Amino acid sequence: MAKKWGIIAIFLFGVYALLMYVYIFHNGGGGIPATLKGTVADPNVFMSERELYLSEEYSRIKNFLFFVSIPYEWLVYLFILITGLSLAFERWIPLQNKWAILQNGVYVFLLSVLTFILLFPFDYYRYFLSKKYGISTQDFNSWMSDNVIDFWVNLGTTLVIVTVLYWLINKSTKRWWLNAWLLMIPFSIFLMFIQPVIIDPLYNDFYPLTNKELETKILALAEQAKIPAEHVYEVNMAEKTNALNAYVTGIGNNSRIVLWDTTLNRLSENEILFIMAHEMGHYVEKHIYFKIAGYILTTLVGLWLTAKIMPWVIHRFGRVLKIKRVNAIHSLPLFLLITSFLLFVSSPISNYSSRYQEIRADQYAIDLMNDPEAAVKTFQELTKSGLSEVNPPLLVKWFRYSHPTMLERINKVANENELKE
């Protein structure tokens, strides 16, 4: 029976991958509308012929990998279940019925190592592509070092979550989802609070911006936005990427204004100030609080759905999946599969909300800086540095784009400038 379900799952995955390949590589969508050809939003105007070719090729491969890698992850969880590996991991745990944190730690470690190995080909191929197309400048050793840090950070947070989660499930198989949700709220806010000062520095070096004149101008913008920041931080990303970025992160006194050194090296002062005005727009519009509220709401719905789906799946397919009961640690791959699926199918909604917030932040920066030339140039440089599609196919936009397309962003600035003129 398990073999039959495994074959069916692989067949469905193959059919899905073929359909996505046809859609992404032979859809013909995502072109430039005739009315915008020759305008500042047309990549043919601001990108070289080679950049256009690389952008199209790289974007298609990257999009295909995205749509294939997530169902592949589901396939991995299914494989771990139907082969009995998850149940075997639980049985291998020493000191059964003693010290739950130790038992969970061993199980989570074994599961994390296995999933890391099985998902590694996709991770490595993404790294290979980014190197091949000139996005990444990171050598393999540095990239692997970041992966190892990721592994241990994720292991630590997963262990805490899993230990509390299964303790709650054992306490109440019917109401665990509500109790888990209530505990997730302070835990998530705590992670947001410590991320800028503890987690982020594990990957990169942060130091005060060396260009003090620019820092003064950025802090003047921050003062207008009422951001409690005394310094602007620079992060050494040039040794890892050619992409550009800047952001405002953290909560309260832990807020940080951060600029990648690639942004400093490639953009003019006015363009940098426009980017910073955009990031501060998120703060002024209180988007971080809307995101927290959205996360809290979606977590509630997700946990409730998972609590309904898991028992049903175990009742119907428990023998095939080698799951004996919902409150056993070996049911964790099923929990991860369900939550991953729910996150994927709900991503168009979360991306739509994020794109709206990005539009608002763009508008704030446009109004504050009143420099349409810098705004257009910034968006063009962001497109070139990341070899981004300015107008992706619809499904790609729905599932992948948390920001408006560059076509929309550039055209918005251009239209507003025409209106003012």
Any binding-site annotation on 287?
no
Among candidate residues 261, 362, 381, 389, the one labeled active-site is 362
> DSSP secondary structure string, 224-268?
HHT---S-EEEE--TTTBS---EEEESSGGG-EEEEEHHHHHHS-
**Within 13 Å and on the Cβ side, how many CA atoms surround 257?**
31
Q: Is 311 exposed, middle or buried (CB count within 10 Å of its CB: 0-12, 13-18, 19+)?
A: middle
| 47-392-420-380 Cα dihedral, nearest 10 degrees | -30
How many C-beta atoms lie closer than 10 Å to residue 32's C-beta?
17
Contacts of 252 (CB under 8 A, 6+ apart): 193, 228
Q: Let me know: does 43 contact 283? Beta carbons within 8 Å.
A: no
Alpha carbon distance 222, 405 (integer Å): 26
Any binding-site annotation on 282?
yes
Q: Is 362 a catalytic residue?
A: yes
How many C-beta atoms lie closer than 10 Å to residue 266's C-beta?
18
How many C-beta atoms lie closer than 10 Å to residue 139's C-beta?
12
390 SS3 class: coil
Residue 235 host element (H or E): strand 232-235
CA proximity to 385, closest of 46, 114, 144, 100: 46
Indicate the pairing of strand 232-235 with strand 256-260.
parallel
Any binding-site annotation on 421?
no
Sign of CA dihedral 265, 267, 268, 269: negative
Among candidate residues 279, 371, 389, 408, the one labeled active-site is 279
Q: In the structure encoding, which two tokens stand for residue 24, read together? A: 């992404």
249 SS3 class: strand
Question: Which residue positions form the known binding site for Zn(2+)?
Answer: 278, 282, 358
Binding site per annotation, positions: 278, 282, 358
Active site residues: 279, 362
